[in-house]
Amino acid sequence: MSSPSKRREMDLMKLMMSDYKVEMINDGMQEFYVHFHGPNESPYQGGVWKVRVELPDAYPYKSPSIGFINKIYHPNVDEMSGSVCLDVINQTWSPMFDLVNVFEVFLPQLLLYPNASDPLNGEAAALMMRDKTAYELRVKEYCEKYAKPEDIGAVPEEKSSDEELTEDEYDSSDEQVAGKADP
């Protein structure tokens, strides 16, 4: 096994052993979802997002690709695609960083200190610069509408017909199909 794949495995295991729920997208270790909670004492507090992480072949030498699956109102997150404009991840990534850093440092910092001068969501950036209170109210509206814990399970996922069901989907489909046993 090459060094980058050992590192990928180690970082992923470290993330899984932390407080984050990790859902693998396929059999490989390159794509997965992480449940991310908004930072306390911020307008994002109480929000929960499903974040898609894609690790490039050259990880950890090349940064992971990060995107929000459920909607978030933020100047540095594209509202339609969920893509994150995050200089630390995209431009100043170093192999010294790991996946836990992304969720414990980089994303919380991004939400706490948005950069309105480099926006992916121009409307959010303009509102933040023009009326911070209205901006924070909009953030809270989005949290309430799109980022409740139950919204994470309700977000459509890309599935191929031959993928296995998750345990929750399996359990719920059993309940719907099962009837009374024949006497």
> Catalytic residue numbers?
85
Residues 47, 53: contact at Cβ < 8 Å?
no
For the beta carbon of residue 23, count every other beta carbon within 10 angstroms.
13
Q: How far is Cα 120 from Cα 114, in angstroms, rounded to an integer? A: 11
Kind of pairing between the strands at 65-68 and 31-37: unpaired
Q: How far is Cα 38 from Cα 51, in angstroms, rounded to an integer? A: 12
